[in-house]
Structure 1
Amino acid sequence: MTGTETGAVSARERSQGLARSLFRVALPRWRGGRYSLSKLFFNFYLLAMGSFVAIAFTADFVISTAQRGITDDYARRFMRGTITLIEDELFRQPRHAWPSKIEELDQKFAYRLNIVERITLDKILKPQQVIKLDAGDIAIDHDDDIMYHRLGNTSKVLVVGPLAVSRNPEQTDRLPLEARLRLLTWSLTGLIFGIALWFWVRPVWRDLEAIRQTTRDLGDGNFDARSPPARSQLFSPLAETMNSMAERVQQLLATHRELSCGISHELRTPIARMRFALEMLAETNHRDERERLWTMMEDDLDELDHLIDTSLTYARFEREAPAAHFTSVRFADWLVDQVESVRLLGRRLEVEVDTSRLPPQLNVDLDRKAMPYALRNILRNAFKYAGQKILVSAELDGDHIRILVDDDGIGIPPEEREHIFSAFTRLDRSRDRATGGYGLGLAIVRRVLELHGGTATADAAPLGGARFTLSWKAHQ
């Protein structure tokens, strides 16, 4: 294996190693300890259900507080008649008989009845309730669900309640009906929510597992790995982005490998010629021969410089297409100027420019830095293979401008016309030094046209050789 080939292999290994390192950094932190579906479900469930319960209780507290005044008024109106009847019944009896009478009445009601001294309530009731009590109104203790009513102007106070406590002995140790209904409601809510959450978490977990496995494969150097389509809309953009990133990394690695192998192959020929020329230079004393060998080495150095420049340009387009900076130009004048700038390279060839099919004073949008590079590469390619004549013409087809470059050379076989736009692709007949090249010019032409949102194609020319067509939207 030659030194250049060894360098290309090592460069390829370094690039792949760098890509693996990047993907390993991107691996989830839970790669070592397997994160189970049940743990994910319970974490989501506890978080969501806890938040839901907290919100529900907060809302219930706020609503209960806001409605407390309305509830109190309703309870007073509801119980006022009953309390008045009990008060009337007591006033029919002597005061010393009130305790026995209240015990008798207590047996007939579902809630408890009692009589206490007014002074004992100062520490039980709030000041607002004490004021209502002394005013002859009904005071309500919300904490114990008890009502208090002062019996006339006496120091005695009728106590009604707790209202929520049942007098049925069979229900003494049971939860109140409201509490049982709430418990049943929350249990059903939690169960239904858990089932719904399970069916939501399961596809999310599968998507996480698929993305994790894809990331692990990419981190291990398998750049053909792709994440399957996500089952949930939550991870669909992430899976698409990861696949796009993997394709881009794979494309960059392929370009790097292609450039490394192609450049190493192309470098061998001029370097071998220079080494041969140096050996011949050391063995000859003839001035003419020495000058000829010096000229050969200078040509080889120019070839190496052109190869490096072209390779860097191609790598820049492959790595990241630069943003196009469009400028409106008078197209017929621009086309004539571009052909004139390289006409000398055609030497003996007849190079003709035809702009008769263009509308007068036509302006076209193009990148004035990139598009000349594409046109000159097409013209240089035509100069290599043309026999006597090259015709450059242009036409406006709808909203697209087209440049046609025809030559009378040997043409391009139909099966090769698409392939020649790939990097480092050359036809067998072009491998001699006179028409060599590196197979990068046409690849760059296609990248430039893609930058303009257009196309570059090859076909048969009316002159008998090849026709190259550059087409893009005239007004961006």
Structure 2
Amino acid sequence: MNNLFVRFYVGVVAALALALLLVVLAAAGRHETTAAREAQSARLAEHYVELTQGNHWLMQEALLARPPAEWDAVLEQWRPHFRYPIALQPARELLAGELPPFVRERLAVGEPAAWSRLASPTSERLTLYLPLAGSDRVLVEELELGPPVDVLLDLLGVDLVVLLAILGLTILALTRPLARHVNRLADAASAFGAGRLDARVGASAPEPIGRLARTFNAMAERIQRAADEQQATLQAISHELRTPIVRLHFALEVAGGALAEVPAAREHLEEMARDVGEIEALVEELLTYARLQPGAPPLELVQLDLAELVHDVVRDLGPLAPRLALGIDGPASAPCSAHPRHLARAVSNLLRNAQRHARAQVRVRFAVAGSAATVTVDDDGPGIPEEHRARVFLPFERLDASRSRATGGYGLGLAIVHRVMQAHGGSARAEACDLGGARLVLAWSWPGEADRGD
């Protein structure tokens, strides 16, 4: 809001100053170069001659009452009483210099003349010419009309401050609602990007913000509808697959009993059973991923000991990779708030991912500080390139194209981890680690005692 107001305010003030400067420059250019402006200057000069006619009559009478030889002495007596220069000059010298045509014409016939031109943006220089009758001398007066810049600032300073204050209040009144609507739209877009697909923004805003809000809402509706349909389809397919999988398991058991005496058939049946087991595991992964979709009912967090949970996961999964050195680093007790089953699933997915890629060592660390917790799993495997670290949490995204039993996995393990952390209001991220491989970090927080008491 402040940035928008300042930029708008400075822009308007700069535009006003530039417009004023251009007007002054244009006026100055027209004054010096165009015939129309010269005609206008001639009319203005005529006005100044008429305006100073009485003063000139008195000065001429005072000079003509004295001999011409004393005129210079009289001017010396007058000068201390004038705040502008006065002088007597020969008419021939003036006519030989640069004068506008309307001044030259009047001096040539012995008539008073005036010449006005711009001296500064706030003042003009006025030269008055008074030919003295019966002589070739001209009384010349140099006046500067209009206040100097410092005097003008003193005169207009308060008015200028009031003008700028009113301008600022007007711009603030215009930009504040605009900034408020834009901020609401930005908050809704941020929430939508974070997985809250039901985030919407009020469309009662001035155009074109209102149109932008309606467009955003329409886009959000389409995306949410498509996501809901995709999740419904995924869950329906997963549920429908369970029945034929159960039938396959039963059929394989029956066939295994009937063909128990045929070694070749038994081997094929065991291979088929493993394939069906993989399909069943994939279906369970799909159902878990679908249940954790954004917009699902919030998880019920309970108090638990993170140390106990991590040790249980390591104890269960450690024997699956006996060749690896598996270390645990964390306090003896680490109370936190989380959903036990989903958090255990996330930690086990990280550990199984590390076991698949590690060469010789896996390290699990955990910590709780206040109302925030972290779980970190490091391995000494090939690591994850920096440009791919965000992609590994996408569903069915694998850096290798393999789906073989050697590497295992279905491309959903880290995607489920990501959704578990989203459901906890936390995050999952990939980093480089000092073991040379990948570091996968879970981080989440929960309301503290002070927050729950409000």
* TM-score computed with the length of structure 1 as normaliser: 0.43
